[in-house]
Amino acid sequence: MKQDGVKRWVAVIGNPNAGKSTLFNALTGLRQRVGNYPGVTVEKRTGTAFTLHGEAIELIDLPGMYSLLPQSPDEKIALQVLRGESPGVPRPDGILCVVDASNLERNLFLVTQVMELGVPVLVALNMVDMAESRGVRLRPQELSEKLGIPFIPTQAHRGKGLVELRAALGQTLLHPGPRQWTMPPPLAVAVGQIAAAWRDSLPAEGRAEGKALELLAGSDVGPEGARKLAQAWRERFRKEAYDWSAAVVHARYEYVRNVLGEAGMIGGTRVASWTDWIDAIVLHPVAGWGVLAAMMVSLFVSIFSIASYPMEWIDSGFTWAGQLLESQMPAGILRELFVNGILAGVGGVVIFLPQILILFFFLGLLEDSGYLARAAFLLDRVMHRVGLSGKSFIPLLSSYACAIPGIMATRTVEDPKDRLTTILIAPLMSCSARIPVYTTLIAAAVPVALVPVWGKAVALLGLYALGTGTAFFLAWIFRKKMLGGGSPPLILELPPYRCPAFQTVALRMWERALIFLRRAGTVILALSILLWFVSSFPKSSEDESINLAGSYAGQLGHWMEPVIRPLGFDWRIGIGLVASLAAREVFVSTMSIVYHVGGEEGGLVAAMRGAAWPDGIIIYSPLTCLSLLVFYVYALQCLSTVAVAKRETGGWGWPAFMMLYMTGLAYFAAWMVQIVGHALGF
Amino acid sequence: METQDVAGEGYSLDLTQVGAGTEVRVSRLECPPQTCQRLREMGFCENALVTKIRGGADLVCWVCGTRVALSARLAKQILVEHVDGRS
């Protein structure tokens, strides 16, 4: 502990996929999300770890970075924290650098930079088991002696080395010694002069050399004299065509190779592994696409087949609860509120929990196995044609779960125009909140008996493909026609495959289940009560349908109907569209309330299939269902997505554009479905 | 096809032109500065040894103990030479 009794802060840093978050979780007992692909962590997270003596230390888990010259927003976030420039986070008292022991050369490159930050450094030599299996002979003691900082061997995923790490964290962390790598002569003169100018202004600065390198790299933080000198040297190097930044990288790597060579730790020559065997199939230009398609089809078939059993159980549970309330409670407003408001609204959404969990199970397998980076590799060519790089695919794939983490994951995309384009199209990837809407409408569109499970799966796959295909087309317009510039080339680390950890996948499913149920218990419950009220009052008749038509919601729906009538939607669907502006799945709960079905999924589908226009023509014809489905594929019915897009783009302009173009597209496309459908005789 | 070395030091191959399974040494990077910086940080420094694992439109290399995927247009900007001195 610091002498003044204030808690110490230690930043956890390292290359992407070095196991930082796994170690952070092991030390803090938290459940920070982990995965087997670069870029899982895109923002800083804090948690408390305890040393062996019980001292509480605040750990800050940072996004992975390859160097301290950041290129992507997530790397900039990490550097801000390390420099003490992040709002609300003090400058770290120490840095825990997590290095992948099987890849020391590149990982120690970052360590040499971290050692120049003027903060004590401790190294966790992680994944020692993997390094040893590759034939690398690890000598942590020798590394400690050569670099002058402690190296603690760990296997974070097995909890090994944590005791030693906690003990080391409990001791007074020491500042690294002076720079050991040899600076090339022209650069050494420049750095010496800039550092001297810095010291003249700020004599207390103990890491003037590191600051001088930062100034040369373009930083504008520092004394004016030092900044001007750095500018002059930068100009001189440019005129002399001297690539000083390349010289620094070479010198650091040279130093690292020497250290590893002297420690007898150069090894780990590449031998063909089962990762190569799997890659031979999944990265194959033909077979790779087959694997990807097979996985997607399996996912959608599972969503309908496996999920149907637990969905029936949940359905029975809500039906039983509704019957119980009707038999035990006296007739009146309170019973109506519980049965037709709360049970219908919340039950109508909760029933889809098994389908959402299956989606997250598959996504968890993809993430934890290491396949996700391969999918990005496979899709790079497609992405390149629309002006993006394969790196944008990972945020887009995350958006199948939810657009919010998807948009946040764009922080790993270096190119600002690429990142903006990815943010703009991310909500077009069908998220899990659309599943309740899709499956309800697919069931309403076609009789259950006529369509086998695989038919529904293909229909669902088609909706996902429609959203994805449109997203790529719009990416081409936004990136190539609006924003301009070429697409950046792909540079992506492919992690070795590993067997997905059951605990990681189960944890992700559990977290998503909690989020889903929390939404059902808060937002959807509140909206259900509100909707029940506005669709029940003012009371104008004992007849439910007449009463609904005259209610506040009914009046709003009737007012909207002329606008949505060309899409084949009636005023009741209009109520659903307005209510689901907050969140898409609210459409299903709204329809359950509007049709008074008391939370039964089958009941809602039956009620929708029986709904008719005043002239007797059914409302939910296959054509109107398709129109509504297309509307939901495109519409941005999610206020949380708008809020996160505002935060990530730094203003309301782009989120407003996103809302306008998606709503316009949804309306136009649904209208086109009607026009084309009628022209074809449907 | 071989690329003329602009420095007049002979001929260099780019990374797309070597066969899968071949180990080569990086001789020069010819990409924009920011991309060069990231490539070097990831191990594609001049003189670094790189093994091309997979070829094709995009390719996979083994460098500094990890597999790194590169798009072919970037790989064309990485000039290499055979480890045994052949070019």
C-alpha closest to that of A529 among A462, A590, A476: A590
What is the C-alpha separation between A71 and A240, in angstroms, rounded?
25
| Distance between A59 CA and the closest CA of chain B, angstroms | 26
Domain end residue (candidates: A241, A262, A283): A262
Q: pLDDT digits over A504-550, tens only?
A: 888 878 888 888 888 888 888 888 898 888 888 888 777 777 888 88
| Residue A175, in any domain of the structure | no
Residue B2 pLDDT > 50: no
Q: How many distinct structural domains can be found in chain A? A: 3
Cα nearest neighbour of A383 on chain B? B71
Domain-located, residue A123: yes
Binned at pLDDT 50, 70 and 90, residue A268 comes out as low
Report the C-alpha gap between A162 and A175 in whole angstroms.
Answer: 22
Identify whether residues A69 and A212 lie together within a single domain.
no
pLDDT of residue A191 exceeding 70? yes
Residue A313 sits in the same domain as residue A413:
yes
The answer to whether residue A269 scores a pLDDT higher than 70 is no
Residue A70 falls inside a structural domain: yes
Whether A367 and A506 share a structural domain? yes
- Using the predicted structure, report yes or no on whether residue B3 has a pLDDT greater than 50: no
pLDDT digits (tens, 9 = 90+) for A53-110: 889 999 999 988 999 988 888 888 888 899 888 888 899 999 999 999 988 999 999 9
Residue A207 makes CB contacts below 8 A (sequence gap 6+) with A116, A117, A118
Q: Does B51 touch chain A (CB under 8 A)?
A: yes
Neighboring chain B residues of A377 at a CB cutoff of 8 Å: 58, 60, 69
pLDDT of residue B25: 93
What are the tens digits of pLDDT across the range A607-662? 898 888 988 899 999 999 999 999 999 999 888 889 889 988 988 999 999 999 99
Q: Is the pLDDT of residue A131 over 70?
A: yes
CB proximity B21 to A under 8 Å: no
What is the residue-wise DSSP string for A98-157? EEEGGGHHHHHHHHHHHTTSSS-EEEEEE-HHHHHHTT----HHHHHHHHTS-EEE-BGG
User: Is residue A376 located within the same domain as residue A254?
Assistant: no
CA distance A351 to chain B (A): 42
| pLDDT, tens only, A556-577 | 999 999 999 999 999 999 999 9
Q: Does B54 touch chain A (CB under 8 A)?
A: yes
Q: Within a domain: residue A656?
A: yes
For chain B, the structural domain boundaries read 3-82
Question: Nearest 5°: CA angle at A148, between A145 and A150?
Answer: 85
What's the pLDDT score for residue A39?
Answer: 63
| A523 and A650 assigned to the same domain | yes
Q: Which among A70, A115, A77, A118 is positioned nearest to A97, based on CA atoms?
A: A115
Query: Nearest residue of A to residue B39 by CA position?
Result: A491
Query: How much is the pLDDT for A523?
Result: 82
> Which of A266-280, A617-631, B2-16 has the least mean pLDDT?
B2-16
% of chain A at pLDDT higher than 70: 95
| Interface residue B6 vs chain A (CB under 8 A) | no
Residue A452 has a pLDDT of 76
Same domain, A226 and A159: no
Pair A655, A516 in one domain: yes
Which residue out of B40, B63, B70, B77 would a mutagenesis test of the A interface target, given it has the greatest number of A Cβ atoms within 10 Å?
Answer: B40
- Which residues on B lie below 8 Å from A270 (Cβ)? 51, 62
pLDDT higher than 60, residue B87: no
User: Which ipTM did the prediction report?
Assistant: 0.89
**In this structure, is residue A278 part of a structural domain?**
no
In-domain check, residue A271? no
Cβ contacts of A390 on chain B, cutoff 8 Å: 58, 69, 71
pLDDT at A299: 83
Q: Please indicate whether residue A340 or residue A203 has the higher confidence score (pLDDT).
A: A340
Count of Cβ atoms closer than 10 Å to residue A224 Cβ: 9
Is the model's pLDDT at A43 over the cut of 90? no
Quick one: residue B63, left, alpha or beta (phi over 0 = left, psi -120 to 50 = alpha)?
beta
pTM of the model: 0.81
| Fold type of domain B3-82 | SH3 type barrels. (2.30.30)
The pair of three-digit structure tokens given for residue A504, joined into one six-digit string: 């990681």
What pLDDT does B1 receive?
40
Whether A275 maps to a domain, the answer reads: no
Q: Report the pLDDT value the prediction gives residue A341, as an integer from 0 to 100.
A: 83
The answer to whether the beta carbons of residues A85 and A53 sit under 8 Å apart is no
Report the CATH number at residue A124. Answer: 3.40.50.300
Q: What residue of A is the nearest CA neighbor of B36?
A: A246
Q: Which residue has the higher pLDDT, A390 or A126?
A: A126
C-beta atoms of B67 and A390 within 8 A: no
pLDDT-based confidence at residue B7 (cuts at 50, 70, 90): very low
- Average pLDDT score over chain A: 87
**Contact predicate B30/B79, CB 8 Å:** yes
> Chain A residues contacting B, CB < 8 Å?
66-67, 69, 71, 102-106, 109, 134, 243, 245-246, 249-250, 253, 268, 270, 275-276, 279-280, 283, 285, 373, 376-377, 380-381, 384, 389-390, 414, 488-496
Reported as a pLDDT band with limits 50, 70 and 90, residue A472 is very high
Q: Looking at the DSSP assignment, which residues form a beta bridge with residue A98?
A: A14, A124
Tell which of B41, B52, B53 to mutate to test the A interface (max A CBs under 10 Å).
B41
Residue B61 three-state SS = strand
* CA-based nearest distance A215→chain B, Å: 16
Residues of the domain holding A65: 8-170
CB contacts < 8 A, A to B, total 113
Q: What is the pLDDT of residue A364?
A: 84
Same domain as A159, residue A29: yes
3-class DSSP assignment, residue A94: strand
CB of B69 within 8 Å of a chain A CB? The answer is yes
Chain A residues within 8 A of B41 when measuring between CB atoms: 66-67, 69, 106, 109, 249
Are B46 and A250 inside 8 Å of each other by CB?
yes
Between the alpha carbon of residue A457 and those of residues A219, A315, A460, the distances in Å are 53, 21, 5
Residues of A in contact with B47 (CB under 8 A): 250
pLDDT(A264) > 80: no
Do A251 and A132 belong together in one domain? no
Contact yes or no for A268 and B57 at CB 8 A = no
Q: What pLDDT is recorded for position A630?
A: 97
Rounded to a whole number of angstroms, the distance from the CA of B11 to the nearest CA of chain A is 22
pLDDT confidence tier of residue B6, bands split at 50, 70 and 90: very low
Q: A372 Cβ partners below 8 Å, 6+ apart? A: A35, A36, A37, A366, A394, A397
Are A129 and A198 contained in the same domain? no
Letter string b/e over residues A239-251, b meaning 16 or more CB atoms within 10 A of that residue's CB: eeeebbbbbbbbb
- Is residue A517 located within the same domain as residue A621? yes
Distance of CA A422 to the CA centre of its chain: 12
Question: CB distance from B18 to chain A under 8 Å?
Answer: no
Q: Which of A243, A262, A281 is at the close of a domain?
A: A262
In a domain, A595, yes or no: yes
Q: What is the arithmetic mean of pLDDT over A351-373? A: 86
With CA atoms as reference, the chain A residue closest to B76 would be A489
What pLDDT, on a 0 to 100 scale, did the predictor assign at position A189?
92
Final residue in a domain of this structure, among A144, A170, A196: A170
